A = this chain, B = another copy of it.
Amino acid sequence: MHDSNSRASDRFDPQDFDRVLSSMCTRTHPEAAAMARRFMDDSPALPEVYETVVELERRAVDLLGEVVGLDEPHGYVTTGGTEANIQAMRTARALGDTEAPNAVGSEALHFGFVKAADMLDVQLRLAPTDEDNRVDLTEVRRLADEDTVLVVGVAGTTEYGIVEPIPELGEIAASVDAQFHVDAAYGGFFLPATDHDWQFGHAPVDTMTIDPHKAGQAAIPAGGFLARDVEMLDALAVDTPYLERTSEATLTTTRSGAGPASTYAALEALWPDGYEAAYERERANAEWLADAFRERGYDVVDPELTIVAADVPNDVFERLSEKGWRILRTGEDELRVVCMPHVTREMLESFVADLDAVREETTGGAAA
């Protein structure tokens, strides 16, 4: 039992990131954390009351526009990728001209799209991925039809970090006159440092999800919803009869000012050079870890961005968890490591040393 006179903040400690290997969230950049603490109590939902945080959000959206190749970005800082993906589907449904709307993407879509489709009563049609976890474009073409209001491409899948063929998916969307949405929640702050075609300047993208609170190093909750045309944002607005605004486009109304404030601060501090340097470091770490798994005889899914998946047996996985490593498995039961800013080479070396120790203790560990 705790001493009832003691303070909660003396009794509970947050997760130490030193062993977190399977989270897309990461340590917040120090300046972003400072801004999150300052603006935590300011809600952008009341612009007449909390003016400064509204200005910070405007600046954050402008900088996000630079990241995703939009000169005149429309959008806002969401609670995260799921809200942004829901909003993309909402606007597509609202602007689409059908009574039986459907959305088309690959099986690699984040499960937030299942939530969105369920809520919005939009049929979700998912094309299979092949043995290399790549979407089958022929199947996407077959699934899209005159009732398709949204085609989704993922620029950095949640499970393996794969960048789907955005221009080709955009062509399919255009061929059925559907809105084209790119989910770059995970990839968006890595991709500017790569040669991938993924953003508004590379393909006929209409809306995009990009999460500052992942590789953007802003504080949770900070997702991003960006749209090419203001009408795509307007389609989300509802009248607010009793307050001094005529409309309100967000999903959640009240929002923490921590999101916009820390997004602006992180972008100011890191865009573009800081993000590029972080990507190069995290990418090198992912390749180093992939090699380490391979040298030990495991099958490895080659990292396309910063995610490594290897077929480490369950008993080894469990022992590593017991040692405090915060690791998750893919749907195929692979051990999946996401190299984020807090994941250093030293952490990975320590993890591989533990892996070797566990392999000596277990019989199932000797894959080679």
Q: Which A residues contact B (CB, under 8 angstroms)? A: 7-9, 12-15, 17, 20, 22-23, 25-28, 31, 33-43, 46, 48-53, 55-56, 79-83, 86, 90, 111-112, 114-115, 118-121, 158-159, 211, 213, 219-221, 223, 238-244, 248, 251-258, 261, 264-265, 268-269, 326, 328-331
Contact = CB atoms under 8 A, between A and B. Distances in A.
Q: What 10 A-B pairs are tightest by C-beta distance, nearest first? A: A9-B34, A220-B256, A82-B253, A80-B254, A49-B326, A8-B265, A242-B331, A79-B252, A159-B242, A15-B50
A239 B13 contact: no
B43 A20 contact: no
B258 A258 contact: yes
Contacts of A258: 40, 220, 256, 258
B15 A53 contact: yes
Given A221-B256, A252-B83, A238 B38 contact: no
A149 to B, nearest CB: 14
B28 A14 contact: no
Interface centre among A37, A51, A241, A242 (most CB of B within 10 A): A242
Contacts of A219: 40-41, 256
Contacts of A40: 28, 33, 36, 219-220, 258
A261 B9 CA distance: 9
Given A12-B261, A80-B254, A211-B254, 16 more contacts: A7-B31, A8-B31, A8-B261, A9-B35, A9-B38, A14-B41, A15-B41, A26-B41, A28-B40, A80-B255, A81-B254, A83-B251, A111-B248, A213-B254, A221-B221, A256-B256
A314 to B, nearest CB: 12
Nearest to A56: B12
A158 to B, nearest CB: 7
B41 A27 contact: yes
A191 B286 CA distance: 54
A38 B37 CA distance: 10
Nearest to A268: B8
A257 B9 contact: no
A53 B9 contact: no
Given A79-B79, A111-B248, A268-B8, A42 B14 contact: yes
Nearest to A325: B49
A163 to B, nearest CB: 17
A33 B258 CA distance: 12
A221 B79 CA distance: 9
B158 A242 contact: yes
Contacts of A37: 37
A38 B53 contact: no
Given A20-B49, A253-B80, A253-B81, A39 B14 contact: yes
Given A256-B258, A265-B8, A53 B326 contact: no
Interface centre among A8, A39, A239, A248 (most CB of B within 10 A): A8
Contacts of A33: 40
A331 B252 contact: no
